[in-house]
């Protein structure tokens, strides 16, 4: 951890999000660019006559270059970039140097052949996102829901007072309320998997102008389609110089929705902790308050909420900004996309906050049961509904007279009210009196 880092993701939280450096650091970006340029040159060697005659040698040497890429290659690219002030051109020049060093100098002008820098940039972005979502973000989201599943299974169906508008309402269970969030995230995860990673790979303004001028006999659209599909990406066939990022923004919006669900969840958990429904396990050596020794604060959930909101602010910004570019190209997307790792970093940090917090939670069963026992009025809904079935007139209005007074409704006062109705059907009376705040639960998880 560097105490001089400007971003907390590279300082205070570096160890918690360091795996993202494999995808979105400057070194990772350069590596992705080099490998993409090499893959492109390999594919060209399959169709261009000038390369086909020595195809095996070219592919062999290019494979060696990929296998031996190191920190030195990154340093060399950055050195060249200081002269060119252009990162993609620096990658191109370095790759030409590598080809020359391996006896393939005669083919170096086919590096970056017919491409514009955005062909590389937008394709690399899709590759970075595809790999990072598969390896880091999706598993981290799933880790949150699997942890929810695990703790809810451990606790079983503990009846709990629900609250609508902050007021006591029909009972539920802890497990069912956690399952609401699990189900919501599952729906969004399915949608996340359906969003394609797309790319533009068609030259200066998306028309293969240079490609066609040099090799008019080649179907460059078909070539690009096959090349990108080999990378797990679909080609966007109608573009300007840039890929318009519509599917990228759909991905960002989807992550934002998942984050919003988690914000909803951590706020609820925070409230349950404040109601004393959940206790937090004490971690030896941790301090809750600098002045109040008794406190154990829900910091994991609070940190998660803040980090999710920060990530969502960046996700929203990206989704609004990226689809907009003047005419065929401006460079405003280039600088903001350097922050994709930051944006996802705060999401990843939040997911880890949530998992850490969930592992510290335990239900305070005595408090939960006590609150149910103190709120017998909540079964009035069930009583008046049963009475409607049996043909009693205005049962809602009848029981409202009991439940809307200032007097607290207890088991005894509720049963006295039932007796005052002088219902002749003893089975019905028994049914009404059988309802309690602890068993009036309905179908907890239906469907």
Task: Name the β-bridge partners of 160.
Answer: 172
pLDDT at 285: 55
Q: Are residues 406 and 356 in the same domain?
A: no
- Assign 393 a pLDDT band (cuts: 50, 70, 90): confident
Q: Are residues 108 and 122 in the same domain?
A: no
Compute the average pLDDT of residues 93-100.
96
In a domain, 316, yes or no: yes
Q: Are residues 184 and 105 in the same domain?
A: no
Are 267 and 305 contacting, i.e. CB atoms less than 8 angstroms apart? yes
pLDDT at 266: 97
Q: Which two tokens stand for residue 80?
A: 């060249």
Q: Are residues 195 and 92 in the same domain?
A: no
Question: What is the radius of gyration, based on Cα positions, of the chain?
Answer: 31
Identify the CATH number of the domain in which residue 420 sits: 1.10.40.30
pLDDT at 64: 95
In the numeric block, the tokens 């088991």 are attached to 411
Q: Are residues 307 and 173 in the same domain?
A: yes
The answer, yes or no, to whether residue 292 has pLDDT greater than 60, is no
Among 333, 366, 399, residue at a domain's last position: 366
Q: Are residues 241 and 152 in the same domain?
A: yes
Measured on CA atoms in the order 264, 270, 272, 275, is the torsion positive or negative? negative
Q: Which one is predicted more confidently, 290 or 53?
A: 53
Among 78, 98, 113, residue at a domain's last position: 113
Compute the average pLDDT of residues 267-288.
82
Give tens-digit pLDDT for 196-219. Answer: 999 999 998 989 999 999 999 999
pLDDT at 360: 93
- What residues contact 208, with CB distance under 8 A and at least 6 apart? 114, 202, 220, 221, 224
pLDDT at 327: 86
pLDDT at 173: 92
Q: Are residues 21 and 75 in the same domain?
A: yes
Q: Are residues 163 and 239 in the same domain?
A: yes
In a domain, 444, yes or no: no
In a domain, 310, yes or no: yes
Q: Are residues 393 and 306 in the same domain?
A: no
Identify the CATH number of the domain in which residue 68 sits: 1.10.275.10
Compute the average pLDDT of residues 84-107.
94
pLDDT at 445: 66
Q: Looking at the annotation, which residues are catalytic?
A: 165, 289
Query: Average per-residue pLDDT in the chain?
Result: 91
Measured on CA atoms in the order 18, 23, 26, 28, is the torsion positive or negative? positive
Count of positions (residues) in the chain? 447
Q: Are residues 356 and 386 in the same domain?
A: no
Q: Are residues 88 and 204 in the same domain?
A: no
Neighbours of 102 (CB within 10 A): 15
- What residues contact 117, with CB distance under 8 A and at least 6 apart? 86, 87, 88, 89
Range of the structural domain that residue 92 is part of: 14-113
In a domain, 137, yes or no: yes
Q: Which two tokens stand for residue 388?
A: 């409607």
Q: How far is residue 402's CA from residue 414's CA, in Å, rounded to a whole number? A: 8
Task: Name the β-bridge partners of 199.
Answer: 235
Q: What share of the chain has pLDDT > 70, as a percent?
A: 96
- Domains in the chain, number: 3
Neighbours of 162 (CB within 10 A): 15
- Assign 329 a pLDDT band (cuts: 50, 70, 90): confident
pLDDT at 337: 87
- Assign 334 a pLDDT band (cuts: 50, 70, 90): confident
Q: Are residues 194 and 295 in the same domain?
A: yes
Identify the CATH number of the domain in which residue 252 sits: 1.20.200.10
In a domain, 425, yes or no: yes
The pTM of this model reads: 0.91
Q: What separation, in Å, do the N-terminal and C-terminal C-alpha atoms of the chain show?
A: 48
In a domain, 195, yes or no: yes
Among 95, 113, 131, residue at a domain's last position: 113
Stretch among 207-211, 271-275, 375-379, 400-404 having the lowest mean pLDDT:
400-404
The answer, yes or no, to whether residue 323 has pLDDT greater than 60, is yes
- Assign 163 a pLDDT band (cuts: 50, 70, 90): very high
In a domain, 131, yes or no: yes
In a domain, 6, yes or no: no
Compute the average pLDDT of residues 385-407.
84
């Amino acid at each position: 951890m560097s105490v001089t880092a400007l971003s907390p993701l590279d300082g205070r939280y570096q160890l918690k999000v360091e795996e993202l450096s494999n995808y979105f650091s400057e070194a990772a970006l350069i590596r992705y660019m080099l490998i993409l340029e090499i893959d492109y040159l390999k594919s060209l060697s399959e169709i261009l006559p000038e390369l086909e005659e020595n195809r095996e040698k070219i592919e062999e040497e290019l494979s060696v270059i990929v296998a031996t890429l190191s920190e030195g290659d990154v340093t060399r690219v950055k050195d060249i970039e200081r002269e060119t002030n252009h990162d993609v051109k620096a990658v191109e020049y370095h790759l030409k140097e590598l080809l020359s060093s391996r006896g393939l100098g005669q083919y170096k002008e086919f590096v970056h052949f017919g491409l514009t820098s955005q062909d590389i940039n937008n394709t690399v972005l899709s590759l970075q996102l595809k790999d990072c979502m598969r390896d880091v973000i999706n598993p981290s989201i799933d880790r949150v829901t699997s942890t929810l599943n695990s703790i809810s299974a451990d606790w079983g169906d503990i009846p709990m007072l629900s609250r609508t508008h902050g007021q006591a309402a029909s009972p539920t269970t802890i497990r069912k309320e956690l399952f609401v969030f699990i189900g919501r995230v599952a729906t969004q995860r399915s949608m996340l998997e359906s969003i394609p990673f797309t790319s533009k790979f068609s030259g200066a303004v998306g028309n293969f102008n240079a490609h066609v001028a040099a090799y008019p006999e080649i179907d460059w659209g078909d070539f690009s389609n096959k090349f990108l599909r080999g990378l797990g990406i679909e080609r966007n066939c109608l573009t300007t110089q840039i890929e318009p990022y519509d599917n990228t923004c759909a991905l960002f919006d989807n992550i934002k929705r998942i984050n919003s669900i988690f914000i909803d969840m951590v706020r609820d958990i925070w409230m349950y902790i404040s109601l004393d429904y959940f206790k937090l396990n004490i971690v030896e050596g941790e301090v809750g308050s600098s002045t109040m020794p008794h406190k154990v604060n829900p910091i994991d959930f609070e940190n998660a909420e803040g980090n999710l909101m920060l990530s969502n602010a960046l996700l929203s910004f990206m989704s609004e900004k990226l689809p907009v570019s003047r005419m065929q190209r401006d460079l405003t997307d280039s600088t903001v996309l350097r922050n994709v790792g930051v944006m996802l970093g705060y999401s990843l940090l939040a997911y880890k906050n949530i998992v850490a917090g969930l592992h510290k939670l335990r239900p305070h069963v005595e408090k939960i049961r006590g609150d149910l026992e103190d709120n017998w009025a909540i079964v009035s809904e069930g009583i008046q509904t049963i009475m409607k079935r049996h043909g009693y007139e205005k049962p809602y209005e009848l029981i409202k007279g009991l439940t809307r007074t200032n007097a607290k409704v207890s088991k005894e006062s509720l049963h006295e009210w039932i007796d005052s109705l002088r219902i002749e059907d003893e089975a019905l009376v028994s049914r009404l009196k059988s309802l309690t705040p602890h068993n009036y639960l309905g179908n907890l998880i239906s469907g």
